[in-house]
Structure 1
Amino acid sequence: MRAETDESALALSACFVVTSVDRRFVEFAGVMLHTLALNGDVDEVNVIVFCDGLTPKDKSHLRQCGGRLRLTLFELSERTLRQFDGLKTNSNWSRSIYTRLVLPDLLGCKEGRLVYLDADTIVVDSLRPLLNLDMSGMPVAAVGGVSNQDNARLKLPDGTRTMNSGVLLIDIVEWLKRDLSSRCLEIVRSQAARLKFFDQDALNIALVGQFASLDRRWNVILHSHADEPAIFHFTHDKPNSVRCQHPAQPLYLQYRQATPWASKRLKSRWHKRISRLTHSVRRLFER
């Protein structure tokens, strides 16, 4: 039975690791939770998965993968989801991506820290150094740099740093002080035409480079390198696809062997095109 949860009930403690998924990302979230339990060194941290339409079987699989984690699954309420009505989605990104823009509100807490992880990440080292990082009064810490192309597209000043939002460290007090949830949602609604990366672009516009820099080891994406990686992030083609070129794909598949998706076949080269076509047809009939 689908549970309806009031966000105010989520005042847990001062430290969280959080992700948000719909059914398309359950496998990735399961493998990520498995690696978090094995390698993350977060036994005392509250791990929260915000769920959008998961089945009881999906949730059972996630709990199995979570092992000894202090794991809580919360179904996103209709009141929360209404905030995302009309926001941009595509075949890769559903409305659940916008959850990261309102996490302090969903958790119902006024202070503390949270680490947000995209579901398509794996954790291969302790997160304790990340949780204890000096953020120098910034509301967010992330891996980023200067991209002239992104600055031009987002109409940011030359030299502004932009971030990848797949791994975020958030200081809840500073986030709330700057009203970042409301500001980001307003940007998504009012500047949709220029947002190629949707919620990530909105956060970059709102912050204008005002975020603490994380070492690249905390978010190792395709074509990047870190001497001591802690989190691999599968941007572009996903690690359960034959199209994936991320060098950590074999590691992902190794960890997947201990999950309910161990025997699942890799998605074909045609899967991504079929997903895009299906999404386009669905949007056509929704008009």
Structure 2
Amino acid sequence: MEEKIDILVTLDENYLDPLKVMLTSLHQNNMQIDFRIWLIHERISSEKLQALQTLLKFYGMELNVIKVPLDLFADAPTAERYPKEMYYRLACGSLLPDNVKRVIYLDPDTLIINPIQELWDLDLEGNILAAATHSGLTNITKGINNIRLGINHGYFNSGIMVIDVKQARSKVQIEDIYDTIRKYSDYLLLPDQDVMNYLYGEFTKEIPEEIWNYDTRQSSAYFTRSFGAYNIHWVAENTVILHFCGKPKPWNEKSNNRFSLLYLHYQQLLKRYEENI
């Protein structure tokens, strides 16, 4: 029996529709792979979860839903900038069952446009995490973030990560996360990402952003940095995960990103699938 790939998502009802599009793209480009989807949430309705279950059964994917008790993160610093969902991915080691040893965490505002197996098989070389940095054209933000957070490594994007869950169970402590937020809240711009970098950046293996976490806003920067090699044809053949960072999102009518049409293609494909389930 072939090993299943474990995918982790943490979100609320507002991101269920983008999640379905992302999972549609994952299915379309990885039909030979068995996936277990782990959805950690706090208050998604049973009706919407059932609709997601029906879709994933159609895709041949296994859905596992973990509902976090309302009092589990009662002591967590929360506000609009600190939604509880941000804790779930960092604390996944204490939330996922013991038989889950590794997961690929995916933000819902992504598309998987090529096979993902190589990311699953990645040698973490003893690290807890693997993630990409978004360096832009000049990489000036690395220096800014290093000063702001007092770190001496790259600033990793937390939207796509490989997580060694077995290590996370012993090394990622929820109280450390709480303490960091309480101590540095005035300096945190992207709370969960900042916390991840501050506490665990030195235990993170860097993976190529052009392949595993392609920021769709930065296509010109990728093209320029590669001296013209990373054009659209290269992306179609080599990039695995497109990440629609920032706003507007591709499902918004104001979006006119060069990758918006591709996103809308998968959105329409999802619609046709749902009409025939």
Instruction: Write the distance in 2 (CA, Å) between the matches of 1:187 and 1:261.
Output: 45
> Under a length normalisation based on structure 2, what TM-score does the superposition of the two structures give?
0.79
Instruction: Write the distance in 2 (CA, Å) between the matches of 1:71 and 1:184.
Output: 28
Alpha-carbon distance change, 131 to 42 in structure 1, aligned in 2, over 3 angstroms:
farther
Instruction: Write the distance in 2 (CA, Å) between the matches of 1:162 and 1:18.
Output: 22
Q: What stretches of structure 2 of length at least 5 have no aligned partner?
A: 223-229
Deviation at 1:61, TM superposition (A): 3.2
Instruction: Write the distance in 2 (CA, Å) between the matches of 1:259 and 1:83.
Output: 39
Instruction: Write the distance in 1 (CA, Å) between the matches of 2:83 and 2:241.
Output: 23
Q: 1:163 aligns with which of 156, 161, 164?
A: 156
Deviation at 1:55, TM superposition (A): 2.2
Q: For this pair of structures, how many residues does the alignment match?
A: 246
Q: 1:200 aligns with which of 175, 193, 198?
A: 193
Amino acid of the residue matched to residue 256 of structure 1? Q
1:248-287 deviation per Cα after TM superposition (whole angstroms, max 9, x unaligned): 221111111133599xxxxxxxxxxxxxxxxxxxxxxxxx
Q: How does 1:203-282 map to 2 (within 5 A)?
A: 203-216=196-209, 217-221=211-215, 222-224=217-219, 225=222, 227=234, 228-237=238-247, 238-260=249-271
Deviation at 1:201, TM superposition (A): 0.2
Whether the 8 Å contact between 1:188 and 1:199 is mirrored in structure 2 is no
1:67-94 deviation per Cα after TM superposition (whole angstroms, max 9, x unaligned): 211122232222434254x32424xx73
Relative to structure 2, which stretch is displaced further, 208-217 or 177-186? Answer: 177-186
Deviation at 1:180, TM superposition (A): 4.8
1:112-152 deviation per Cα after TM superposition (whole angstroms, max 9, x unaligned): 21110011111112221111001111110000156111112
Check if 1:87 corresponds to 2:61. no
Q: Secondary structure at the match of 1:235?
A: coil
Q: How does 1:148-187 map to 2 (within 5 A)?
A: 148-157=143-152, 160-187=153-180
Greater share of helix residues, 1 or 2?
2
Q: Secondary structure at the match of 1:37?
A: helix
Instruction: Write the distance in 2 (CA, Å) between the matches of 1:39 and 1:253.
Output: 16
> Under a length normalisation based on structure 1, what TM-score does the superposition of the two structures give?
0.76
Q: Secondary structure at the match of 1:151?
A: helix
Q: Secondary structure at the match of 1:165?
A: strand
Give % identity.
Answer: 21
Whether the 8 Å contact between 1:17 and 1:48 is mirrored in structure 2 is yes
Q: What stretches of structure 1 of length at least 5 have no aligned partner?
A: 1-12, 263-287
Check if 1:18 corresponds to 2:12. no
Amino acid of the residue matched to residue 137 of structure 1? G
Deviation at 1:181, TM superposition (A): 4.2
Deviation at 1:208, TM superposition (A): 4.1
Deviation at 1:53, TM superposition (A): 1.8
Q: Secondary structure at the match of 1:73?
A: strand
Deviation at 1:15, TM superposition (A): 5.0
Instruction: Write the distance in 2 (CA, Å) between the matches of 1:64 and 1:206.
Output: 38
Q: Secondary structure at the match of 1:116?
A: strand
